[in-house]
Structure 1
Amino acid sequence: MRVLILQFRVVAALVLRETRMTFGTSQIGYLWAILQPAATVAVMVILFSLIRRQPPFGSSLALFFATAILTLEMYNKFSVSLMRGFTSNKALLTYPMIRETDTLMARTVLIISIFSIIYLLFYGALVGLGYAPLPAYPERILAAFGATAFLGFGVGTINAVIYVHINAWQHVEKVIARPLFFLSAVFYIPSNLPPQAITVIKWNPVLHLVEWVRTGYYPNYYSEILNVFYPLAIALVLTLIGLTAERFTRKKRF
């Protein structure tokens, strides 16, 4: 029991440290964390409005884009932030009570906290301003939120292990992540694509998470692609591989 309490205190202290490192002492840092995904949604809405495009589904462009962009932003935040979890805390890892996995858990808690606030504020603002109704199945949105964190943790853990040994991996990760904006159904309904295209994009687990969120928000949204077990299975496999690789490469690090 004392060990668990100690680990909890270690992770809590690391969360506070990560918060200061991420946002500094200025409130502008906290505000930017919220405004960044909102700005992306706003740009998409403006562009589609200028060309007089209707929402691919529903009556709100902002809501349709938000269901994909917020999910993708959260996944990318995990992937990039956890990748530097070991290197950014190199000095702290010399203390015996702090383990490598503690740094990953601290960043995970911080990201989940940040995006919980972003989700509540952003969707709350859309509902309050009349751009979106209340979600039809909020439990599905919560499940998709948790699955996104799980998948992001798995990918981020593997990135962290690779990045310690290959610094150039950060550039490779950017190249891999860039097409996700087009492959994750940000501005289209994947079920309406030709079968050949569906065969390709359905391998993207983030796409399933986006579809999961949309089936939770829209009462009559139908997805031929969605398989809720697929991103969970990918997340489980990646997490096991990442944690195992971290354990076996721990002595070779730094």
Structure 2
Amino acid sequence: MPILPGSVAPKSLGESYLHVLHALMLRDMRTRFGASLWGYGVVVLWPCVHVFMLIAIYTFQKLAVPLGDDRALFFASGAVPVLVFQYISREVMKAVISNRPLTYYPQVKLFDVIFARILVEIVTGFLALLVVISVLLCIGTNPVPSDPFVAMCAYLSAIILGIGIGTINVAIIGFFPGWLIGYALLSIVLYISSGVMFLPSYMPDKIYYWMKFNPVLQLAEWMRSAYYPYAGLEIDYLYITMFGLTSITIGLLIVKHVVAKMSA
């Protein structure tokens, strides 16, 4: 990488890579909703608005919740892991589309663009989680789970699954650009069937059996089991973990072919 007059040369290739990664992350934060702090604030608050609109609708209609007596806690505990998964898996795919011209620079690789967006989405999701927790505290809801370790594992699993599906989306969109619309439609189906607005275990056994193959549904149940341990929710932890890790592996293997296609 050429060194401009008056600049300080990076001490190592690792430091140079960190500079590239930092620049890509800043570009993501500044370009998606305007080059300002308020613009990035919109990115953080967007999923929070989704959660609280859902809570408001069910509160005004005075609908009972399947577990407990707190509507806000029930919906937030199911929506947070699902939204974390959806935002990461979608935005990682969109990063390749919006930042593809940057890969023409020899210092920037496709994996750098993907990794930078993953880090941005993890930070954004965590900030959104802090906002949700703060609002729940303000309205008198206790957001602390009965089993914090289980809740943390569910949140991390949502990140892993989001990265895995997002990586596969990158590979697919490299060959079929129209998949951006296709995944948007699939996301709606996954969200509706994930159990954010209802408790899937109350469904008939034959239907619930097939619904359990949706790893997003199990993410919601995993998080809810941390808040409602008495509900007896059965989660296949190995299935969710292996689904996420396998998705990452498959996605990275296919991305190699996407890189070759972009370089051609």
What is the TM-score with the length of structure 1 in the denominator?
A: 0.91
Distance, in Å, in 1 between the alignment partners of 2:231 and 2:17 is 43
- The reply on whether 1:26 has 2:36 as its aligned counterpart is yes
Equivalent residue for 1:70?
80
- Asked if the contact 2:133/2:143 (under 8 Å) is kept, the reply is no
Distance, in Å, in 2 between the alignment partners of 1:139 and 1:231 is 17
- Asked if the contact 2:103/2:110 (under 8 Å) is kept, the reply is yes
CA shift at 1:202, angstroms? 0.1
Secondary structure in 1 matching 2:100: coil
More deviation in 143-152 or 131-140? 131-140
More deviation in 107-116 or 181-190? 181-190
For residues 91-148 of structure 1, what are the alpha-carbon distances to aligned partners after superposition, in whole Å with 9 as ceiling and x for unaligned? 2112222211111110011011011111122123213431235222222222222111
Secondary structure in 1 matching 2:96: coil
Distance, in Å, in 1 between the alignment partners of 2:52 and 2:143 is 18
CA shift at 1:170, angstroms? 1.1
Equivalent residue for 2:258?
249
Indicate which of 48, 51, 63 corresponds to 1:38: 48
Distance, in Å, in 2 between the alignment partners of 1:127 and 1:57 is 19
Q: Partner amino acid for 2:238?
A: F
Equivalent residue for 2:58?
48
Q: Percent identity?
A: 29
CA shift at 1:206, angstroms? 0.8
Secondary structure in 2 matching 1:118: helix
More deviation in 215-224 or 65-74? 215-224
Secondary structure in 1 matching 2:197: coil
Equivalent residue for 2:226?
216
Distance, in Å, in 1 between the alignment partners of 2:155 and 2:219 is 8
Indicate which of 216, 237, 240 corresponds to 1:231: 240
Secondary structure in 2 matching 1:249: helix
Unaligned stretches of 5+ residues in structure 2? 1-10
Unaligned stretches of 5+ residues in structure 1? none
Equivalent residue for 1:185?
195
Q: Partner amino acid for 1:233?
A: M
Distance, in Å, in 1 between the alignment partners of 2:18 and 2:228 is 38
Distance, in Å, in 2 between the alignment partners of 1:34 and 1:78 is 13
Distance, in Å, in 2 between the alignment partners of 1:17 and 1:34 is 16
Pair 231,47 (structure 1): closer, same or farther in 2 beyond 3 Å: same
Tell which structure's C-alpha radius of gyration is larger.
2
What is the TM-score with the length of structure 2 in the denominator?
A: 0.88
- Asked if the contact 1:84/1:163 (under 8 Å) is kept, the reply is no
Q: Partner amino acid for 1:154?
A: G
Distance, in Å, in 1 between the alignment partners of 2:49 and 2:34 is 21
CA shift at 1:219, angstroms? 4.5
Q: Partner amino acid for 2:41?
A: L
- Asked if the contact 2:66/2:198 (under 8 Å) is kept, the reply is yes
